[in-house]
Amino acid sequence: MQLGSPLPPEWFAGQLAEMRSALVEPYCIEMPDGRHPDEGARPVWVVAEDPQILLAYDADPEGDFVLIFRDAAELGLSPVRGDAVGCFMAR
């Protein structure tokens, strides 16, 4: 059973264009790990950013990407994890 309707190819092309324009020279930031709070902060590598989010590579054992929300007070880890394109499109 399928619910809803598929997104048009133009949506995907637009998302890829937005991601391409959001790419930055990778830089490292320290983020508290919400999954392992007893371990403290850990380095993640930001690879794309827009006004609302950062897309970062987390070199944890799973080696996946994670969205980081920008907030007026502080940065916050999103539960969205996976491949770079999928994470970016989930924002």
Can you tell me the mean pLDDT for 63-79? 82
The band of 21, judged by pLDDT with boundaries at 50, 70 and 90, is very high
Residue 27 pLDDT > 90, yes or no?
yes
| Long-range contacts of residues 50-54, Cβ cutoff 8 Å, at least 24 apart | 50/18, 50/22, 50/91, 52/91, 53/78, 53/91, 54/29
